[in-house]
Structure 1
Amino acid sequence: MASDDVVGAASACQSGQAALAAGLLKRFTAAMATAGGNLVFSPLSIHVALALMSAGAGGKTLDQILAVAGAPSRGELEAFVRDTVVERTLADRSATGGPCVAFACGVWSDKRFPLKKAYRDTIVQIYKGDAWTVDFQNHPVEARKQINAWVAKVTRNLISEVVNPQAQSKETLKVVANAIYFKGEWRQPFDKEHTVDHRKFHLLDGSPVKAFFMRRLRLHEEQIACHDGFKVLKLPYKAVDESLPGFRWKQLASLPKFSMCVFLPDARDGLPSLLSRMTSRPEFLHEHLPTSLVPVGDFRLPRFKLTFQSSIVDVLKSLGLRLPFEPDTKDLTEKMEGAQLYVDDVIHKAVIEVNEAGSEAAAYTESDDDMGFSLFGDEPPPPKPVDFVADHPFAFFIIEETTGTIVFSGHVLDPSKEE
């Protein structure tokens, strides 16, 4: 494939990932509207799960998977995951002071029906994964414990269990999983001694709860964009330890750049309408990110820790992915010898903790600008400081800016709850 074609294919897959992230956010938000809970999930993890599902699929089933994933072809989707996701976005940078990142794929197949060589090679070579043979029929509990142990290892024990081992069905033939772990330090950490507790956070219904707020007391600059009805804050993570011997500033241009972006509505009850606007177009998020530093006055962001776990089959069906879940499908036969397969369930679990040092997050899916001030001449007066006080519900995203990849997404309705 010519270089222009490679770039074009990667761009198409990246746009597909953004569209999938918007669609997932819209549907997760709608599903949780009555429950009124916090939300965190990994669009990237689910996108990779779809890529894993496409490996070994064919016919109309493959067409549906590619349509939901937003990929022109299986080969282009595999190349995007390998070159953009695995080799760049999710490459571990902890040895040089950047984010600690772990990504892994695993396949567990029942010993009665071994994986076909082509499918196993795809998992190992394209997705850098591992494959194991287990006995789901006679030792289902032990098989599930093995899967849980793998997830715990990859996510640094942030996710220790995805399903109850005792609930494992003896009819399981294969489990395909991917897990993502991210831990990044803020480029400019918050001072713990400035964090205050028992301050009001206003829920959507107007009632207050007590929360811990991280603050910066002195006048400083942040990356904030002010739009009609909402503000956006971008908090960059440290990409490299600048004190390392041999460090050169030009190195930063070639490194992934992760940031947390907080979308804060002006109105205390404005998150639902803001989310509706955000999910109307996949480009909305990136079009409204801050592009410069502004002076900041009152600056407060709550600490929070969120957990989410659910089957996402109904969500995927609502996006148009139906055939893989039908028992009579015949388009998944390229995976295992002697077995007619269909996807029984897709389980997604995500955890995120945001504190003064940075963020730690994990997900599992089973199937610098300077602003100068002059004291002389006819320079205009400095701009008024912008306040950013996240004391009411907001949405957040962890993104990798050079590729535009949305790694984690969610919203905070009540930071006092660890859901």
Structure 2
Amino acid sequence: MSESARSGLQAFALALNKRLADDAARSNRNLIFSPVSVYAALSLVTAGARERTLSELLGVLGAVSRDDLAGSVRVLSEQALADQSQTGGPRVSFACALWHDRTTPLKPAYIDAAAKSYKAQTCSVDFHKKPGEAGKRMNAWVRASTNNLITEIIDPSQLCPQTDLVLANAIYFKGKWSQPFDEEYTEDGKFHRLDGSTVEVPFMQDDSRQRIACHRGFKVLQLNYEEGPQPRARYSMCVFLPNTRKGLPRLSEMIATDPDFVRKHLPTGTVEVGEFRLPKFKLNFSTGMNDVLPDLGIKEAFQEGKADFYDMLAEEDRPGRGLTLQEVLHKAIIEVNEEGTEAAAVTACRMQKVTCRVDKLPKRVDFVADHPFAFFVIEEVSSAILFAGHVLDPSRE
């Protein structure tokens, strides 16, 4: 992956993280989503766009061209997100797919690009007359691609009969800590929420050395996942813990200021640990992104009469005319416990024709995550952020 593409993906991930985190905080919800999944799904949409629609998508995704974008996703799928379960590393699955109505054929060049660069499978379905049946086929793919963690992305009974095309990405991750926590030491304790109230939740504890960095106003814990003898990728979870109980909003602002913020603030070594507590948590989150993406700069793709997806549909009369991005849906789930992490996410894009900143480390460091914090599951070689989220209340899914 080129340095510009790497920077573009990180910038997109942190901008989207900030926007979704603000929305989630207003309703006091925990947050979990996959920047990589959203990036891949929108990249697949971009492969069929042109003119101003293409420029907006490339700008938000941080790519200089469709080829640059396709190359980035290809590197992610073949290297950063390659499955390592057979050699002792994390189990990783990354898949793309697209379904088009049988009366709306796709251009051969677009199908070829989707297959070569995104390894996307293409399926012809009957959206117009049997939308429920088409929805069931898509959800079956979702279940298979996420090891049944996510059972559906679209409610078959509510799928619009005017739908012409749905493009999707799914990602699944299951990794064991390189140093698992002993369940015997897990104890309940108080977690302080942003509103000042507390809740009793199980905390994992440990007294061994940990990878922790102390910065002005916050600390960062990096937990590595088990890997094989010759890993092609290295995965870890990074917990960004503000020093104050109500410091997460401010920390979120800081993280969003620099596309390379996460990587720059990772620990560079291990330290002796004093008190160490990290809550177990299981989160699930789903959201529509029709209001979020325009705020980031993707506007024309949603606008009737302006969206230009000329390179997508195989129609004789001005291909792609009237085809617009109608809905972008995202769903994600994650569970963190003594053994490790299991997570999955799906992003679906529904389209139709509209004729419808480091301080000196002390000798011992405490890391007590008993108040809201942010976390990122990253692949260190590419710096790709697979999953991101905020834990406001670990007692709630």
Tell me whether the two structures share a fold, i.e. TM-score over 0.5.
Answer: yes
Deviations 1:157-203 (A, max 9, x none): 01001121100111000000000001110000011111113x10000
1:41-190 aligned within 5 A? 41-82=33-74, 84-190=75-181
Distance in 2 (CA, whole Å) between partners of 1:412 and 1:33 is 10
Distance in 2 (CA, whole Å) between partners of 1:93 and 1:32 is 33
* 1:15 paired residue number: 7
The answer as to whether partners of 1:295 and 1:383 remain within 8 angstroms in 2 is: no
1:17-416 aligned within 5 A? 17-82=9-74, 84-197=75-188, 199-216=189-206, 219-240=207-228, 247=229, 251-252=230-231, 255-338=232-315, 340=321, 341-367=323-349, 384-416=363-395
* 2:356 paired residue number: none
Distance in 1 (CA, whole Å) between partners of 2:307 and 2:330 is 25
Distance in 1 (CA, whole Å) between partners of 2:38 and 2:154 is 17
Of all paired residues, the percent bearing the same amino acid is 50
Q: Taking structure 1 as reference, are residues 263 and 383 closer, same or farther at Cα in structure 2, changes over 3 Å only?
A: closer
Deviations 1:41-90 (A, max 9, x none): 111111112211111111010000000000011111111111x2110011
- Structure whose CA Rg is larger: 1
The answer as to whether partners of 1:220 and 1:297 remain within 8 angstroms in 2 is: no
Number of equivalent positions: 381
Q: 1:165 is matched by which residue type in structure 2?
A: P
Q: Taking structure 1 as reference, are residues 350 and 330 closer, same or farther at Cα in structure 2, changes over 3 Å only?
A: closer
The answer as to whether partners of 1:395 and 1:412 remain within 8 angstroms in 2 is: yes
Distance in 2 (CA, whole Å) between partners of 1:54 and 1:72 is 12
Instruction: Give the alignment's TM-score, normalised by structure 2.
Output: 0.94
How far residue 383 of structure 1 moved from its aligned partner, in angstroms, is 5.8
Q: Taking structure 1 as reference, are residues 294 and 170 closer, same or farther at Cα in structure 2, changes over 3 Å only?
A: same
CA RMSD, aligned part only? 1.3
Deviations 1:339-389 (A, max 9, x none): 53111001011111101110011111112xxxxxxxxxxxxxx96321111
The answer as to whether partners of 2:300 and 2:307 remain within 8 angstroms in 1 is: no
How far residue 312 of structure 1 moved from its aligned partner, in angstroms, is 0.8
Distance in 2 (CA, whole Å) between partners of 1:332 and 1:312 is 19
The answer as to whether partners of 1:99 and 1:182 remain within 8 angstroms in 2 is: yes
Deviations 1:82-123 (A, max 9, x none): 1x2110011100001100000111110000011110111111
The answer as to whether partners of 1:263 and 1:394 remain within 8 angstroms in 2 is: yes
Instruction: Give the alignment's TM-score, normalised by structure 1.
Output: 0.89
Distance in 2 (CA, whole Å) between partners of 1:194 and 1:108 is 49
Q: Taking structure 1 as reference, are residues 383 and 230 closer, same or farther at Cα in structure 2, changes over 3 Å only?
A: closer
Partner of 1:156: helix, strand, or coil?
coil
